[in-house]
Amino acid sequence: MKASDAIVVLVNTGTEEQANQIAHVLVDERLAACANIISPIRSIYRWNDAVQNETEHMMVIKTRADLFKKLQARIKEVHKYVVPEIIALPIIAGERSYLDWVFESTARVRRDKK
């Protein structure tokens, strides 16, 4: 597998407990190899036509690019936000042994033969 077959996904949550819950779901279900929780962070954003200034908790999730749609759907099932941030970033290079671990720690997507 190539480095570009792996991605980093950023997700913010309103509580550390929710970030922890989502991280456990994703890793337990092998949709992610790892999820780091960075807490707290300050987020300033526009919502309902007003500027918000809130504490959030950022998740940095490492996974396979071919798992993104399943990962995204699963996050939306358990996330409390109406519009959750789910942003995938490509990995253009990385330590080979680490990337191998990411690939080995995540589920392979089954493709039905037609």
Domain residue extents for the chain = 3-105
Fold of domain 3-105:
Alpha-Beta Plaits (3.30.70)
pLDDT given at position 49 = 97
Which pLDDT band, with edges at 50, 70 and 90, does 114 fall under?
very low
Which pLDDT band, with edges at 50, 70 and 90, does 110 fall under?
low
CA distance 78 to 35: 15
| pLDDT tens digits along 13-62 | 999 999 999 999 999 999 999 999 999 999 999 999 999 999 999 999 99
Mean pLDDT value of segment 82-105: 96
CA distance 46 to 69: 26
**pLDDT over 50 at 8, yes or no:** yes
The two three-digit tokens of residue 10, written as one number: 């950023």
